[in-house]
Amino acid sequence: MVEAAAEAARVPAAAVRRALMLAGDLGSVAEAALADGEAGLARFRLTVLRPLEPMLAQSAADLGEAFARISPAGLEWKLDGARVQVHRLGREVRAFTRNLADITERVPELVEAARALPLEAAILDGEAIALDGAGRPRPFQETMSRFGSRVNVGEARAALPLSVFFFDLLHVDGEDFLDRSARERLAALEERLPGELRVPRVETDDLEEARGFLAGALERGHEGVMVKALDAPYEAGRRGSSWLKVKVAHTLDLVVLAAEWGHGRRRGKLSNLHLGARDPASGGFVMLGKTFKGLTDTMLAWQTERLLALETHSDPHTVYVRRSWWSRWPSTACRRARATPAGSRSASPASRATGPTSGPRRPTRSTPCVPCMRGGSNLAGTRTTRGRPEMAQYGRLRTTAAVLTLAGTLAAALAAAGTIVWAVEVEGSEATIRILLLGAAATLTLGSLPLALAQALRALADVGETVSAR
């Protein structure tokens, strides 16, 4: 529909898309485009206190690849925290997540930091993260736990205070910086914010200097660096090629300790695998995490048959097996959790290979196990909260979200098709334009409402699982 509005108004689709990103309403954007063309679209500006989609990064295997694509570059520590967008207008401050959820009430320390700045209006992009007494990052799951509830915020803050570090500035005191180069935006950021509120960074075209900067970030417990083009604008809502993330991965060879029975379309199959490593002190195994995504139906059937043959005991939710399977994980960071009493670290990376010494292997993704989310240990055979009944409801929320996504897509497609048929049947360019704009609004409404609800349900499931796990 963006393309249809652009064609009707004879303006570039990119200009319509940008105005829509800023306005959030295709109808008003199309009206301005028809009335005043590109000049009308240029009047749409950032609105402080209304969030916009953040710019995202692509990945690079290493600094050599990143510098082959971007040089000279700005390098920043890649913090393993939660992306936040903080808006201030006078004394009013609002904080939003990467998914544009309003979390202002849950992060009072971010609000205080923004209010203390010597400015009247600003939109800042950054990371919120929990640090320990030595200034090193605490487990990612602990940082995320601060976003899960609006109750007892004062107690949560006292137990786990958040720090905020900003790396971009999109607006300040009536002036938009969205289309300015990164060099200009960062100069304004450095001028307005004290060093303790900015992500550490350097600018360089020297690969060895960049490697030293990366080593420093890793030494302080962070997961890597961001490599950013200095002449690029802020591409809101896009995974642009002018931002590259570089993380250093290591692998862990783990064994499969148990598997949980699936639900939904995986009912009757063993799905979530419990992975662990040997504890050198006790000789037993410590559970580090779970992996369950990316498995085909064939793989699920095969692993169910194989695991049942290795069963040692079970409960209604979980089958425990002999230690004869292994799984290779990159530890990148095994989400940098504190050591468990057994001396291992919790993990939440992607599994590279799973299976016995021979047999099919499929790449999967994993999530941290409950004890890992607490920073504690869980020996093989111990039940975890994934088996608790309240966790099943979050699976049902995800299923409902998937149905809503499909319904929204179909509704939008039908509205678009009906619009095209109607437009073809009428005569006159003015009537055709009105029909196209009406159809665009209908398509946007019919498609966006179910998709927005689906996104909210997924976010609720994420938060619920995290809170229940704690």
List C-alpha distances in Å: 332 to 52, 152, 349.
30, 33, 7
- Which token pair is 279? 């504890």
* SS3 annotation, 125-146: EEEEEEECCCCCECCHHHHHHC
* SS3 annotation, 17-37: HHHHHHHCCHHHHHHHHHHHH
- Which token pair is 247? 């993380």
Please answer whether residues 145 and 160 qualify as being in contact, where contact means their C-beta atoms are separated by less than 8 angstroms: yes
Question: 175 in helix, strand or coil?
Answer: strand
CB-count burial class (<10 Å; 0-12, 13-18, 19+) for 360: exposed
d(CA 276, CA 273): 10
Peptide bond before residue 72 is cis, with ω within 30 degrees of 0: yes
Catalytic-labelled residue, pool 78, 245, 269, 290: 78
- Which token pair is 55? 């710019």
The β-bridge partners of 57 are: 240
Question: 41 in helix, strand or coil?
Answer: helix
DSSP H stretches of helix in 351-428: 370-374, 389-425
d(CA 7, CA 216): 51
For this structure, is 290 an active site residue?
no
User: Angle of helix 429-469 relative to helix 389-425, nearest 10 degrees?
Assistant: 180
- Which token pair is 370? 């409950």
State the distance between the two ends of the chain, measured CA to CA, in whole angstroms: 44
Instruction: Show which residues are catalytic.
Output: 78
